[in-house]
Amino acid sequence: MAYTSPKSVPKAFDQHKRLIVVQLAAVLAVILLLFSRPALAEGSDGHEIVETIGFAMVLTCFLGRLWSILFVGGRKNDELIMSGPFSMTRNPLYFFSTVGAAGIGLMFGSLLAAAMLGLASFVVFRFTARKEAEYLAGKFGAAYAAYADRTPTFWPNPLLYRDEAQWLFSTIALRRSFRDGLYFLALFPVIEAVEYLRLSGDLPTLFTVY
């Protein structure tokens, strides 16, 4: 289900600052990855289990973002999307991205890295979601208020799921989301390569991350 605003409204929230924060967090995560090692011994059963869970979370992020883009791609801020993943949470893209960020920490084998990345993503996306909610409330009025009353801001409620018979989606937005999601998946072979270099002694370890 989608609702189209009949009136003009102020400009949508500028997400440039959010992108800068996310990029800085990614750089810090790379530094953490290159010069530290997880407390769980690499190659141990515990490390492999945690790493597998992390990869599953990153894959969930990738697929969840594609699913969300199928519903909202090309229509964000122009229509109020209230079906599919948007019927369970008002911000499925942010939710799945947070799951992926935490998954990256687990792929590294560190619970602390997972908690830090997940929390940082959650804080940034919650702030962004709040700003977007103010914009959407001004644009769609009572329709958005009713939607917000029944739909969680961030954590999905599967019991609320509603689909629609058909919808149009943007192939450009889908391709962009697919490309962005590949960055998450590409971290898996990168992490494996770093582990190999560390175990072979070719990469120095400065500290341990639990």
Q: How many domains is the chain partitioned into structurally?
A: 1
Q: What tens digit of pLDDT does each residue of 165-210 get?
A: 666 666 676 677 677 777 777 777 777 777 777 777 777 776 666 6
Would you state the pLDDT for residue 150? 95
Asked if the structure places residue 21 within a domain, the reply is: no
Asked if the structure places residue 125 within a domain, the reply is: yes
Output the DSSP codes for 33-94: HHTEEESSPTTSHHHHHHHHHHHHHHHHHHHHHHHHHHHHTTTBTTEEE-SBGGGT-S-HHH
**Structural domain that includes position 70:** 44-209
Asked if the structure places residue 137 within a domain, the reply is: yes
Q: State which amino acid sits at residue 106.
A: L
Q: Look at residue 64 and tell me whether its pLDDT is greater than 90.
A: yes
Instruction: Give the domain CATH number at 98.
Output: 1.20.120
> Which of 150, 152, 6, 175 is CA-nearest to residue 79?
6
148 SS3 class? helix
Q: What tens digit of pLDDT does each residue of 73-108 get?
A: 666 667 888 889 999 999 999 999 999 989 988 888
φ, ψ dihedrals at 38, nearest 5°:
-75, 155
Asked if the structure places residue 99 within a domain, the reply is: yes
pTM metric for this prediction: 0.79
What mean pLDDT is reported for the chain?
80
Residue 30 binned pLDDT confidence (cut-offs 50, 70, 90): low
Please count the other Cβ atoms lying within 10 Å of the Cβ belonging to residue 28.
13
